[in-house]
């Protein structure tokens, strides 16, 4: 089966997560993605296990891409990017607004020679506006979008950041929707366009609880899902405790031990204690599953992420696979989630070394011969030459 995006050319001049994640998904869908790195490399080359010359974080977000290393500070650097962009369908960047223009690789410069170009720019607060020039990594958006404060309010704990960079991946995924829509529109109009994706916009539109705050209706919100101790280990129940208590009382005869005239806080505490004791009384996972299935409450194990390969569905769907580690062995990587009935998808190879495909990309995209490629050596950094 063919890949859905075979033949699509993507120039990825982004770094760290939001842009590289979007480009990695395009690579998994069959696009020819060329990552452009500066001489000092993507910051993520410093994070994670160093296997085969690539660190884990960098490998996860850049698998399946080709790589050229261009020094934009040197004369000719921007011209080389422009030449490649003239042959590209998509350019992805996540510089702070204004930086790409200053370097000579902004949308105005790149689209001048390629009106069909679709460019995705991801930033914290958008390309224009009072905060557009602010530095913005995921934790900044988590704070500004209300996520950190809400979690502190719900759990009655001091505010702390989230444990994953969801603001980045949200922006990357919404950026994918935008650029694929623009490519579809290009089929009708013949013209590309520039997509301004603000991380804070992507975070807020993905927040299914924001309306409770905007409309001051917090009291109508469901109570958060909670973790309970059981014979099967800690499990999370996806239901409001008030609902769970009613089900335990009606289906299993669990009773509130509170006496007449007990205050509500006392009743709640008593009911929680009784519910916890009831869950602990179930002898094993089979009994727990049967009881929760009987009252139609969804539940899940609180798993250690290091053991995720043994999660039954992850194992069945081969969500984590082993690919070449470029050191004579293999290393694990998470697949993209797309499963098609009549198309192929998935990671197509390990992450590239810095500048590994300098000559190859200039040959394939620009049709240059050895002497013409050699003329660009002044702005290209070769990985093997640095080793």
- Annotated catalytic sites, by residue? 168
**Residues 282, 237: contact at Cβ < 8 Å?**
no
Calpha distance 12→19 (Å, rounded): 7
Strand ranges of the sheet holding 235-237, from the earlier edge strand across to the other edge:
226-228, 235-237, 299-301
Cα separation, 40 vs 71, whole angstroms: 9
CA distance 39 to 285: 54
Please tell me the distance from the alpha carbon of residue 141 to that of residue 148, in angstroms, as a whole number.
9
Long-range contacts of 147-151 (CB under 8 A, 24+ apart): 147/203, 147/207, 150/209, 150/213
CB neighbour list of residue 37: distance below 8 Å, 6 or more residues apart: 15, 67, 68, 69, 70, 354, 355
Q: What contacts 254, CB < 8 A, 6 or more positions away? A: 245, 248, 274, 275, 278
Choose among 248, 266, 247: nearest CA to 257. 266
User: What letters, b where the CB count within 10 A reaches 16 and e where it falls short, cover 221-254?
Assistant: eeeeeeebebebeebebebebeebbebbeeeeeb
Q: 243, 209, 238: which is closest to 226 by C-alpha?
A: 238
Helices (H) and strands (E) in the chain, counts: 17, 13
Contact (Cβ atoms closer than 8 angstroms) between residue 105 and residue 82: yes
Using alpha carbons, select from 119, 100, 132 the residue that is nearest to residue 195. Answer: 119
> Residue 71 corresponds to which tokens in the numbers above?
């020094």
β pairing state of 118-123 and 194-198: parallel
């Amino acid at each position: 089966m063919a890949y859905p995006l075979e033949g699509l050319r993507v120039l990825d001049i982004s770094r760290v997560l939001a842009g590289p994640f979007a480009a990695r998904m395009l690579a998994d869908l069959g696009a020819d993605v060329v990552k452009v790195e500066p001489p000092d490399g993507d910051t993520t080359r410093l994070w994670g296990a160093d296997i085969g010359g690539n660190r884990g974080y960098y490998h996860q977000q850049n698998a399946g891409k080709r790589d050229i290393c261009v020094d934009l500070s040197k004369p000719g650097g921007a011209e080389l990017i422009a030449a490649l962009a003239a042959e590209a369908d998509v350019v992805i960047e996540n510089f702070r607004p204004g930086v790409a223009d200053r370097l000579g690789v902004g949308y105005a410069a790149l689209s001048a020679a390629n009106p069909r170009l679709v460019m995705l720019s991801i930033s914290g607060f958008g390309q224009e506006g009072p905060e557009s020039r602010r530095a913005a990594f995921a934790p900044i958006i988590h704070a500004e979008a209300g996520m950190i404060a809400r979690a502190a309010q719900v759990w009655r704990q001091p505010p702390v950041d989230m444990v994953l960079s969801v603001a980045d991946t949200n922006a990357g995924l919404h950026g994918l929707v935008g650029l694929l829509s623009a490519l579809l529109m290009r089929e009708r109009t013949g013209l590309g366009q520039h997509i301004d994706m603000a991380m804070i916009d992507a975070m807020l539109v993905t927040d299914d609880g924001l309306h409770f705050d905007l409309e001051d209706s917090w009291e109508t919100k469901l109570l958060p899902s909670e973790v309970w101790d059981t014979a099967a280990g800690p499990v999370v129940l996806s239901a409001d405790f008030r609902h769970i208590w009613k089900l335990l009382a009606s289906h299993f005869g669990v009773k509130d031990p509170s006496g007449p005239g007990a205050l509500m806080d006392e009743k709640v505490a008593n009911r929680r204690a009784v519910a916890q004791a009831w869950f602990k009384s179930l002898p094993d996972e089979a009994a727990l599953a049967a009881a929760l299935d009987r009252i139609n409450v969804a539940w899940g194990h609180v798993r250690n992420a290091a053991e995720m390969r043994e999660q039954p569905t992850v194992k069945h769907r081969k969500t984590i696979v082993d690919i070449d580690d470029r050191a004579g062995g293999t290393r694990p990587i998470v697949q993209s989630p797309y499963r098609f009935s009549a198309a192929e998808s998935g990671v197509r190879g390990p992450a590239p070394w810095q500048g590994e495909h300098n000559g190859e990309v200039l040959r394939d995209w620009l049709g240059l011969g050895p002497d013409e490629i050699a003329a660009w050596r002044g702005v290209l950094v070769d990985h093997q030459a640095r080793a």
